[in-house]
Amino acid sequence: QVQLQESGPGLVKPSETLSLSCSVSVASISSYHWSWIRQSAGRGLEWIGHIYKSGSTNYNPSLKSRVTMSVDTSKGQFSLNLSSVTAADTAVYYCARAVPAGAGLERWWFDPWGQGTLVTVSS
Amino acid sequence: DIQMTQSPSSLLASTGDRVTITCRASQSIRTYLNWYQQKAGKAPKLLIYATSSLQRGVPSRFSGGGSGTDFTLTISSLQPEDFATYYCQQSYTTPQTFGQGTKLEIK
């Protein structure tokens, strides 16, 4: 059973970069696709982006200029960097496995999710 | 982006009730619609994918239906553990988007 666990700072200063990692309990992280999703009172649930098992990425256009995702297969982790953060980026950040609706389809559901980590942007 | 609108936003119900939550997409998403349950302080949990397919381990009292722009999540007989917030999510186009949630509360 796949399990995910987010880690990273809970407080980030405005204009700095938010960096989170997600550790996954699978034999090979490269066997699956992965996503980051965040949840805030103001924006609800918001998909941030995917990192495919190939290592390529697909980001939400609204965040694309500030987002970078990567995978470290040796550590069994994937990561999220979000630059130039503001208070609007305060949210609970979740990592999740992205399951495609069919081979080659860019259509996904998310299962399972990590427990989430609250990141507050404040000076 | 495709907008997903759920109704109602909140719902009071009793154990044993049959309840239906609606999710409407701003354009056709065919059957690329998923449902999640979220309990307070926890991550969302996948209930139903591709409109009507029950995720493994999810009780059969949950069911989903619809196509195009209108979808439903039905709980046939509410159990105490079902009181939570429910979200729909479209996966037809990028960016995938979620509804604002329906909070199911005990009457």
The reply to whether B44 touches chain A by the CB within 8 Å rule is yes
Model confidence band, residue A104 (pLDDT cutoffs 50, 70, 90): confident
Chain A / chain B CB contacts < 8 angstroms: 60
pLDDT digits (tens, 9 = 90+) for A29-74: 999 999 999 999 999 999 999 999 999 999 999 999 999 999 999 9
Q: Which candidate, A42, A40, A2, places its Cα nearest to that of A22?
A: A2
- What does the pLDDT look like over B11-56, one tens digit per residue? 999 999 999 999 999 999 999 999 999 999 999 999 999 999 999 9
- Among chain B residues, the shortest Cα distance to A42 is held by B100
* Alpha-carbon gap: A47 to the closest alpha carbon of chain B (Å): 6
Say yes or no to pLDDT of A101 above 90.
no
Q: Is B43 on the interface with A (CB under 8 A)?
A: yes
Q: Is the separation of the CB atoms in A94 and A37 below 8 Å?
A: yes
Which residue does chain B place closest to A43, by CA atoms?
B100
